[in-house]
């Protein structure tokens, strides 16, 4: 029944390769948010050729938005002959910095052995290109469909999505009645459906001390020693306790199927950032530490914070002069779309048709733009599904497989058929 759609995708294989390569050639590195506008303008032109109406929407006033680095988003819409439901494919156009260790040019989009190499190939310009080709194929085969298809290319996912999906969600672009179903082609693998992600709590802890001459530390109070006591308590109590908190959420990789915490940074004492380098001479009066705590559906954010605060409060009773401040930096609640949700069952049907097997249902260890769709847009029929392997994202020599893109474009096209035409084939 899906033969026509699959053929239509096969016919567009070269187009899919060209589109992916052209997208990779825009060095949309974030931060700072380079080349967003030319990339969004290119997408707008490309989608207009497919019959979409397009809008460029700048995240004016969002973090990082300046005239030099405008947070430019593109939203494209194709309305069918008659009114019906809307399926939206959302991809971020930003990529992370290249880093060291590349053996190919990260923005040349080299094709070799069935793979396209480049920064953003897998995360997630390959997925964006696959969704465009899936829509093209669907429109060619079923021009009289009911409903609408939207495709967006958005800014800033790698830095929190504030100038991208969060901004558009505030303007109503990710809410009913405009949109019913959202597919985010993040690189979660072509036969897996990502239902959501764990929660995040970033916080900064500061211990306080008293400045004094380094030769007479007894006259002051060392904030770094206080922080050492905090880290020791984390090692002895908190990390072992977090290891024991397992989740029923199907998080991949399996190591993330429990609570985790990272200590992202420690900064204590006076700065030594003077070149060629002057040592810090004093007893430090401040030490700051940033934590990245990932939590589970089974946990309550208040309890998550309470565990850390309880340790700090206890130290206050135990250590003379110990004082601290605990500041929230970022909070994201965990989210998991129901397995029976329409977009999940539609993509599952596509995966069954293309691969002849049941999909794997997974949860991402980290967050992505689904959080804004759920929390700001109040739209819960949302998943991540796309080609590319998650473990290649953000690495040197990132690549996406051409046949993976072709196969996931077929899954996306069949999902459109299921959601907009009831899968009548």
Output the smallest distance, CB 384 to Zn ion, in A: 9
Which span sits near Zn ion by CB under 5 A: 38-46, 120-128, 165-173, 254-262?
Answer: 120-128
Quickly list H helices, 162-298: 167-170, 223-233, 239-243
Output the smallest distance, CB 152 to Zn ion, in A: 14
Q: Output 286 or 367, the one with its CB closest to Zn ion.
A: 367
232 close to 318: Cβ distance less than 8 angstroms:
no
Q: Output 123 or 349, the one with its CB closest to Zn ion.
A: 123
Residue with tokens 């090692």: 235
Q: Output 93 or 409, the one with its CB closest to Zn ion.
A: 93
Hey, which residues between 159 and 218 contact Zn ion (CB under 5 A)? Answer: 186
What is the crossing angle of helices 13-24 and 3-11, to 10°? Answer: 50
Should residue 124 be labelled a site residue for Zn ion when binding is judged by CB under 5 A? Answer: yes
Contacting residues for 306 by C-beta, under 8 A, at least 6 apart: none
Which strand (E) or helix (H) includes residue 223?
A: helix 223-233
Output the smallest distance, CB 123 to Zn ion, in A: 4
Cα 83 versus chain centre, distance:
32
Which pair of tokens denotes residue 171?
């303007």
- The bridge status of strand 382-384 relative to strand 181-184 is parallel
Should residue 94 be labelled a site residue for Zn ion when binding is judged by CB under 5 A? Answer: no
Output the smallest distance, CB 135 to Zn ion, in A: 20
Which pair of tokens denotes residue 411?
């899954």
Should residue 299 be labelled a site residue for Zn ion when binding is judged by CB under 5 A? Answer: no
Q: Output 186 or 417, the one with its CB closest to Zn ion.
A: 186
Q: Output 126 or 268, the one with its CB closest to Zn ion.
A: 126
Output the smallest distance, CB 386 to Zn ion, in A: 9
How far apart are alpha carbons 154 and 391 in whole angstroms? Answer: 22
Should residue 312 be labelled a site residue for Zn ion when binding is judged by CB under 5 A? Answer: no
Should residue 123 be labelled a site residue for Zn ion when binding is judged by CB under 5 A? Answer: yes
Closest residue to Zn ion in the complex (CB): 123
Task: Verify cis geometry, omega within 30 degrees of 0, for the bond prior to 276.
Answer: yes
Q: How many residues bind Zn ion (CB under 5 A)?
A: 3
Q: Output 30 or 207, the one with its CB closest to Zn ion.
A: 30
Which span sits near Zn ion by CB under 5 A: 117-125, 199-207, 228-236, 248-256?
Answer: 117-125
Output the smallest distance, CB 186 to Zn ion, in A: 5
Quickly list H helices, 163-222: 167-170
Which strand (E) or helix (H) includes residue 309?
A: helix 301-318
Which strand (E) or helix (H) includes residue 117?
A: strand 115-117
Binding site residues, Zn ion, CB under 5 A: 123-124, 186
């Amino acid at each position: 029944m899906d033969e026509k759609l699959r053929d239509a995708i096969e016919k567009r294989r070269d187009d899919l390769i060209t589109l992916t390569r052209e997208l990779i050639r825009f060095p949309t590195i974030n931060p700072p948010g380079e080349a967003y506008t030319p990339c969004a303008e290119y997408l707008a032109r490309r989608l207009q050729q497919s019959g979409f109406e397009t809008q460029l929407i700048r995240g004016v006033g969002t973090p990082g938005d300046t005239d030099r680095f405008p947070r430019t988003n593109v939203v494209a819409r194709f309305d069918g002959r008659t009114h019906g439901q809307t399926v939206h494919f959302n991809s971020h156009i930003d990529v992370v910095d290249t880093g060291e260790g590349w053996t190919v040019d990260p923005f040349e989009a080299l094709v070799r052995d069935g793979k396209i190499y480049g920064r953003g190939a897998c995360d997630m310009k390959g997925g964006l290109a696959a969704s465009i080709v899936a829509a093209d194929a669907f429109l060619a085969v079923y021009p009289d469909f009911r409903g609408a298809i939207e495709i967006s290319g958005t800014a800033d996912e790698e830095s929190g999505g504030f100038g991208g999906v969060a901004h558009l969600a505030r303007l109503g672009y990710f809410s009913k009645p405009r949109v019913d179903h959202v597919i985010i082609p993040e690189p979660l693998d072509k036969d897996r459906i990502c239902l959501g992600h764990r929660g995040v709590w970033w916080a900064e802890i500061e211990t306080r001390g008293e400045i004094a001459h380094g030769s007479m530390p007894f006259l002051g109070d060392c904030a770094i020693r206080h922080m050492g006591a905090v880290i020791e308590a984390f090692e002895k109590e908190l990390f072992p306790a977090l290891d024991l908190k397992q989740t029923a959420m199907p998080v991949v990789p399996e190591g993330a199927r429990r609570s985790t915490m990272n200590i992202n940074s420690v900064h204590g004492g006076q700065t030594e950032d003077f070149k060629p380098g002057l040592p810090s001479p004093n007893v430090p009066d401040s030490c700051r530490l940033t934590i990245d705590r990932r939590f589970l559906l089974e946990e309550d954010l208040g309890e998550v914070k309470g565990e850390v605060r309880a340790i700090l409060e206890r130290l206050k009773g135990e250590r003379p002069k110990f004082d601290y401040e605990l500041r929230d930096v970022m909070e994201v609640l965990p989210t998991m779309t129901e397995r029976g949700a329409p977009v999940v069952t539609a993509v599952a049907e596509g995966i069954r048709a293309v691969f002849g097997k049941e999909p794997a249902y997974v949860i991402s260890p980290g967050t992505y733009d689904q959080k804004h769709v759920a929390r700001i847009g109040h739209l819960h029929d949302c998943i991540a599904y796309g080609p590319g392997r998650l473990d290649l994202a953000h690495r040197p020599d990132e690549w996406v497989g051409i046949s993976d893109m072709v196969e996931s474009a077929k899954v996306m096209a069949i999902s459109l058929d299921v959601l907009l035409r009831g899968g009548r084939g």
